[in-house]
Amino acid sequence: MKFGRGKTARADRRLNPRKLVNVPGVVSAPSVEMACIIVDLSDGGMKLRLDRGTTLPPEVAVIDVADGVAYSAVVVWQRRQEAGLRQTGAVSLRGLVPARMAGARDAWLRAGEV
50-83 per-position pLDDT tens digit:
988 889 999 999 999 999 999 999 999 999 999 9
Q: Is 12 a residue whose pLDDT tops 70? A: no
Confidence of residue 9 (pLDDT cuts 50, 70, 90): very low
Give the mean pLDDT of 6-24.
Answer: 63
Give the mean pLDDT of 21-41.
Answer: 93
Indicate the pTM of the whole model.
0.81
Exposure class string for 79-103: b at 16+ Cβ within 10 A, else e: eeeebbbebeebbebeeebeeebeb
Determine the Cα–Cα distance for residues 102 and 107; give it in Å rounded to an integer. Answer: 9
